[in-house]
Amino acid sequence: MPNPKAMRASLSTGLSMIAPFAVAGSLVAQTVAPDTKPAATRPATPAATQPATKPDHAMPTFARQMAGFVAQDAQTPPPAHPTVFIGASSVTFWRDIPATFKEFDALNRGFGGSRLGDLIDHLDEVVVKYKPRAVVIWGGNSDIASGEPVEKVFETYKTLLDKIHAAVPETHVFCLSIIPAPVRVKNSEKLDAVSALLREHAGKNPSYLHYLDARFVMSDAEHKPDPANYRSDELHPNEQGYAKLAPVIRKALHEVLDAKSGAK
């Protein structure tokens, strides 16, 4: 019959030999165990590792569009002293500007997504290099839509005008009124305020600056944006809308440029 005292001694010895391995296993488990804490309790990523944010008007960049203009000029050299149209997507989508305003040697240099600050940044590439006879600007809508105040939008617009006049002082500049689209009708009051400031500024600089009020041709009987003049996105003009804008611009170009030619 087994000796009870001997059995207790053997069991004690066995446990003492197992214990170190159990402790070591516990330490290993603690070392390799994944972080199971909820995300909310984990330390936040240091701010220094977050990517820096660029100024609004620097996003997106327009290198591709500028390269496209260079390629167009190489394939079809632009006329001497053209009338250059600049602005955002509403100008870009007006693809038949050269044909519509053929008598003025029109050139479309609008690039979608741009704001007034972007026109300033790329002024040499879309205006100055061509030494234009005239420039037609349709811009400011996106600036207001982005939340910029009326005063800031006007000051940026004025900076654009000043830079154009300084670079090409013989060029006539035509500012199209900032027309509210149906999808942005809530901005109408602010857009009209910027347009009023542009009209006033043009009145003080009649030798080269001209304001074109085109809001009425794109509005309905209640002076609200007429959806019939816009694409399904209710933001960009359709063919009918562009057809209504064209005579307003053409009339002003003839009045100013024909008079200038006759004066020579």
Q: Where are the domains of the chain?
A: 80-263
Instruction: Say what the pLDDT of residue 259 is.
Output: 84
Non-local (6+) Cβ contacts of 42 within 8 A are: 35
23: pLDDT strictly greater than 90 = no
Q: Which residue has the higher pLDDT, 72 or 40?
A: 72
Q: pLDDT-derived band of residue 260, with 50, 70 and 90 as boundaries?
A: confident
Q: Which residue has the higher pLDDT, 15 or 221?
A: 221
Q: Which CATH number fits domain 80-263: 1.20.120.1200, 3.30.1130.10, 1.20.140.10, 3.40.50.1110?
A: 3.40.50.1110
- Biggest alpha carbon distance in the chain? 135
Task: Provide the CB-side half-sphere exposure for 38 (13 A, CA).
Answer: 2
Using one digit for the tens of pLDDT, what is the confidence trace for 80-131?
A: 999 999 999 999 999 999 999 999 999 999 999 999 999 999 999 999 999 9
Instruction: Say what the pLDDT of residue 263 is.
Output: 55
Give Cα 99 to chain centroid, integer Å.
27
Average pLDDT over residues 11-38: 42
pTM above 0.85, yes or no: no
Question: Lowest mean pLDDT: which of 113-122, 143-152, 254-263?
Answer: 254-263
Q: Which residue has the higher pLDDT, 13 or 241?
A: 241
Q: Give the residue among 148, 66, 163 at the shortest CA–CA distance from 112.
A: 66
Instruction: Say what the pLDDT of residue 51 is.
Output: 38
